[in-house]
Amino acid sequence: MRPAAPDSGIVFRRLDAGAEIRAGWENTIESSLSTVLSNGEGIRVSTIEHLMAALAGSGIDNAIVELDGPEVPIMDGSAAPFLHLIERAGTLAQDEPRRAVKILKPVAVSDGEATAALLPDHGFSLSFEIDFANPLINRQDMAVTPDLDTFKTELAPARTFGLLDDLPRLQAAGLGRGGSLDNVVVVSGSRVLNHGGLRYADEFVRHKLLDAIGDLYLAGGPIVGHFRGMRSGHALTRRLLAALFADRDSCCATTLAEPAPLGVVVKPDTRRIARA
């Protein structure tokens, strides 16, 4: 990760391919298990959601992410390693206000029993509900208004997870090849196969919140509003952002008073974000 000038946004630079892709929802492509950017010419960057969540949680608006391959390293399956490295490197305040997206009216998308929605609110907050036909995961629900401390302690360490019974299907589809007990919480029936078990009793829903924070940062800045997810995932959040920007009355551009991570809006204006 390298510094970038004001209003640069988050840009992924493929050193091996000589290409750059701005981290915006309009540059994502359909993918159910991770978030994938594409430049439309065959160059992709996969599994960006955990790094994007770390950048969002750190309040970083502008950065260049250099890679020598098509996928962000999975690390331990959470955002905590990225957050640690960002804290070690340090951040710099820039002489430009933080740009944000203020939700003006409810927007929602659904797919069967799964729903994702954005609702007006005074700051950024999230809630998520999952319901798995598994005796360990079962139904979990959590709501959070994340500041940096909350993000660091309650969400960033939550790891991605999967069911052991799903492994043959994923491998047959050519997915999950790099998955191991070092970077995925693997559940078999009512047991966690990873040494040390879970980091939180409800680590599963916490990770879904973490994914949502990373995916929502593809709006181009912090969201001023409430996100509600029910059994949803990356694909539905992508559709939600597309629906948000397709309706010019659903949101407006605004600025934040100071670079507080996931902060509260104090200087709203009425400039509309252009139709996608």
The string of pLDDT tens digits covering residues 17-73 is 999 999 999 999 998 789 999 999 999 999 999 999 999 999 999 999 999 999 999
Identify whether the C-beta of residue 191 lies closer than 8 Å to the C-beta of residue 134.
no
Q: How many CB atoms lie within 10 A of CB 44?
A: 20
- pLDDT of residue 174 exceeding 70, the answer is no
What's the predicted TM-score (pTM) here?
0.90
Edge-first strand order for the sheet with 19-22 is 2-3, 63-67, 10-14, 19-22
- Measure the CA–CA gap between 244 and 108, rounded to whole angstroms: 8
The string of pLDDT tens digits covering residues 219-250 is 999 999 999 999 999 999 999 999 999 999 99
User: Per the structure block, which two tokens stand in for 233?
Assistant: 């995932």
Helix (H) or strand (E) holding 88: helix 80-89
SS percent in the chain: helix, strand, coil, step 5: 25, 30, 45
pLDDT for 180 = 79
State the Rg of the chain over Cα.
18
Identify whether the C-beta of residue 22 lies closer than 8 Å to the C-beta of residue 9.
yes
Inter-axis angle of helices 234-246 and 203-216, nearest 10: 40
Instruction: Give me the active site residues, please.
Output: 234
The string of pLDDT tens digits covering residues 85-144 is 999 999 999 989 999 999 999 999 999 999 999 999 999 999 999 999 999 999 999 999
pLDDT-derived band at 164, boundaries 50, 70, 90: confident
Using the Cα atoms of residue 34, residue 223, residue 51 and residue 15 in order, give the sign of their dihedral: positive
Compute the half-sphere exposure of residue 221: CA atoms within 13 Å on the CB side of its CA. 23
CATH classification number, 2-272, choose in 3.40.50.360, 3.40.50.970, 3.90.1200.10, 3.30.1700.10: 3.30.1700.10
- Measure the CA–CA gap between 105 and 119, rounded to whole angstroms: 6
Kindly report the three-state secondary structure assignment for every residue of 32-54.
CCCCEEECCCCCEEECCHHHHHH
